[in-house]
Copies of this chain bind each other. A is one copy, B any other.
Amino acid sequence: VSVSAPARPLRIGEVAELTGTTPRTIRYYEEIGLLPEAEDRPQGKQRLYSHEEVERLRELIRMRDLLGLSLEDLKQLVDAETARARLRKRWQTAEDAEEQREILEQSLEHIGRQRRLVRARQAELERLDRELASKQRRVRGLLREASE
C-alpha cells in the first residue's frame, strides 16, 4: 500500500467502520454542527469524506470516550481551533507579530489543559488498577488456601 495512494473519497459507512461508530452518529454530529456539512451536496445524495476528515472524527471520538467530554464541549473545542486557524491565515498577510504570539500562547494553554485532563484520568485509572490488583491477590490467596 503506497503512502501517496489516490485517497479515494469514503462513504459514511466506511467512515463509521474506520472510526468505530455508526452512520447515524456521523449524521448527528453534522446536524449539531460538530462536523462540517459540504455546502454543495444536493438533498438526498451521498456524503463523501476524505481521510483527513476521518482523522478529525477519530480525534473527536477519542476526546469523547477517553476524557468524557460532551458534544457541547467538543463543539467549543472545535470552534476555538477553527478561530485560531482563521487568525493564523491573517498573519500571513498582516504579519502582526504580537497577535501571532498571543494566539500561539492560547494554543499552548489549551493543549496544557487537555494534557492535565489526560493526566487526571491516568491517575484515576492507576488507582483503579491498584485496587483490582489487590483484590486479585486476595482471591489468589483464598485459592491457595483452598487447595491445601
Contact = CB atoms under 8 A, between A and B. Distances in A.
Interface of A: 62, 65-66, 68, 97, 100-101, 104-105, 107-108, 111-112, 114-115, 118-119, 121-122, 124-126, 128-129, 132-133, 135-136, 139-140, 142-143, 146-147
A62 B97 CA distance: 46
B118 A136 contact: no
A131 to B, nearest CB: 9
A115 B100 CA distance: 46
Given A129-B115, A133-B115, A108 B140 contact: yes
A64 B126 CA distance: 16
B136 A115 contact: yes
**Chain B CB within 10 Å — which of A65, A115, A147 has the most?**
A115
A123 to B, nearest CB: 10
